[in-house]
Amino acid sequence: MPANDGVKLELDDIQSGALHGRPSPYVGAYLLLRIDDRADGRELVRRLVAVVDSGRPSADPAHDAWITVGFTYRGLEALGVPQPSLDSFAPEFREGMAARATHLGDVGESSPEHWEQPLGTPDVHIAIAVLSPDLSRLEAVTEKARRAHQELNGISVLWRQDCYQLPTGRTSFGFKDGISQPAVEGSGQPASNPHERPLKAGEIILGYPDETGELPAMPTPDILGRNGTYVVLRKLHTKVAAYRQYLRAKAATREEEALLGAKMVGRWQGGAPLPLSPDRDDPELGGDPQRNNNFLYGDDPRGFKCPVGAHARRANPRDALDSDGSVNVRLHRMIRRGTSYGPELPDGVLEDDGKDRGIIFVFVGAHIKRQFEFVKTQWLNDGIFIGAPSEADPLVGTGDGTTSFTIPQRPIRRRLHDLPPFVTTRGGEYFFAPSLSAMRWLAELP
């Protein structure tokens, strides 16, 4: 069912990357740039408008290649956005991700002092993300982006991260990802979960009513805020060998390893959700978009099929928190646009090869705080909401070697202890992805 519901989203003004899923397979690149000269910065924005605009989705998204552009607070400052406008952005965006590291659980080896340069520094001003179904189209689009900044001496490219879908079509831990996404009213994109009504457009795009029935706070002037959205980018390194070793140590057989892995994620590696297939992987179910997200947790309150502490159930508890009505899950939904980077660790290898691999986690939404930050801090890093305060997300939580994970089963539950961190943050930033009209406004600032 396409999510239209009468809302007129100004799709021609919204950057494509906000509302459209990535192709599969995909290749892509993220570039971070610094503006050293204001006039060159505005000229770059002027050139980028045309490039972003040329990447509108066609009838067949498998053939699309597009560019998404975002600015940090410092980037908007470098372009000369007037102070009252800068002050009108969400406080967490103004602070930036590095300043919020402790709150987000980016501590120890994930803390900003260990981040990859220039992530988390005031030098990051602009992000350009290029996504394409294949290398030749990627090169063509990257060339457009390169032409936009070449000969502009006041622009420096600081960082490039390539990404691509692994040959398995899965992420480095071996799981199919990107299955469950909320639909958005007026986007025309189909819902992945038939039990979930499309979100009000204002949850994802600024300038429209959100789930509270209100117009969310928006940067001013209107031309700057409307049809824009916030983007969270995090480089998450995955310790695949450590993850495999942990499962090997806790399981007696390969089947049990696969089961423990599935209990931690909430899905089997092939994507089949535990609520629909609690005992064994079902790759056919996992690969069927009509069925692989068609479920709720309400009939499994104790988590016998899918543990309440599993990653996907924490990140989106669906109807499982509805009983006392105190939490409205719809206020904490997230569009994820993550991609994989780095080489695959070959199947069966248990020793770390020292290579950097993981995901570039990308969130898109109108509310960094009550969407991304809430889910990360309250649902993934903490277990109070599921009555297990000492437990964090077994896959991506801030495991410090002392946390545990409970798997409800009869006659007695199983508890996995001493979970080490399997994911470390290598850096990240909060960006604002403006509309095309806002980019023109930025390019023409007096």
Q: Residue 363 pairs with which residues in a beta bridge?
A: 232, 336
Instruction: Give the binding site for ligand HEM (CB under 6 A).
Output: 171, 173, 175, 177-180, 236, 238, 265, 267, 311-312, 315-316, 334, 336, 358-359, 361, 372, 375-376, 380, 396, 423
Residue 370: count of CB within 10 angstroms of its CB: 17
Nearest distance from residue 220's CB to ligand HEM, in Å? 28
* Cβ 160 vs Cβ 31: under 8 Å: yes
Amino acid at 203: E
Q: How many Å apart are CA 373 and CA 371, to the nearest integer?
A: 6
Comparison of 173 and 441: residue with beta carbon closer to ligand HEM: 173
Comparison of 191 and 224: residue with beta carbon closer to ligand HEM: 191
Nearest distance from residue 12's CB to ligand HEM, in Å? 28
Give the helix/strand (H/E) hosting 75.
helix 73-79
* Cβ 262 vs Cβ 283: under 8 Å: no
Nearest distance from residue 404's CB to ligand HEM, in Å? 19
**Which residue shows structure tokens 């000269």?**
37
Nearest distance from residue 430's CB to ligand HEM, in Å? 13
Nearest distance from residue 351's CB to ligand HEM, in Å? 20
CA distances from 319 to 29, 282, 314, 326 (A): 36, 24, 12, 12
Comparison of 184 and 380: residue with beta carbon closer to ligand HEM: 380
Of 371, 79, 399, 23, the closest CA to residue 229 belongs to 371
Residue 237: both structure tokens together: 């390194």
CA distances from 250 to 3, 195, 205, 256, 420 (A): 44, 35, 44, 9, 13
| Spatial CB neighbours of 83, under 8 Å, sequence gap ≥ 6 | none
Comparison of 51 and 392: residue with beta carbon closer to ligand HEM: 392
Of 199, 222, 187, the closest CA to residue 435 belongs to 222
Nearest distance from residue 239's CB to ligand HEM, in Å? 10
Nearest distance from residue 412's CB to ligand HEM, in Å? 28
In order, the DSSP letters of 293-308 are T---STT-TT-SSS-T
Comparison of 16 and 238: residue with beta carbon closer to ligand HEM: 238
Comparison of 251 and 296: residue with beta carbon closer to ligand HEM: 296
Nearest distance from residue 431's CB to ligand HEM, in Å? 16
Nearest distance from residue 237's CB to ligand HEM, in Å? 8
Q: Locate all alpha helices (DSSP H) within 266-410, ordered by sequence.
A: 283-286, 311-315, 374
Nearest distance from residue 406's CB to ligand HEM, in Å? 19
Nearest distance from residue 372's CB to ligand HEM, in Å? 6
Comparison of 238 and 435: residue with beta carbon closer to ligand HEM: 238
Q: How many Å apart are CA 339 and CA 326, to the nearest integer?
A: 34
Strands (E), 199-283: 229-238
Comparison of 224 and 433: residue with beta carbon closer to ligand HEM: 433
Q: Is 332 helix (H, G, I), strand (E, B) or coil?
A: helix
Q: How many Å apart are CA 337 and CA 182, to the nearest integer?
A: 12
Of 369, 232, 374, 259, the closest CA to residue 316 belongs to 374
Comparison of 219 and 428: residue with beta carbon closer to ligand HEM: 428
Comparison of 159 and 173: residue with beta carbon closer to ligand HEM: 173
Comparison of 178 and 307: residue with beta carbon closer to ligand HEM: 178
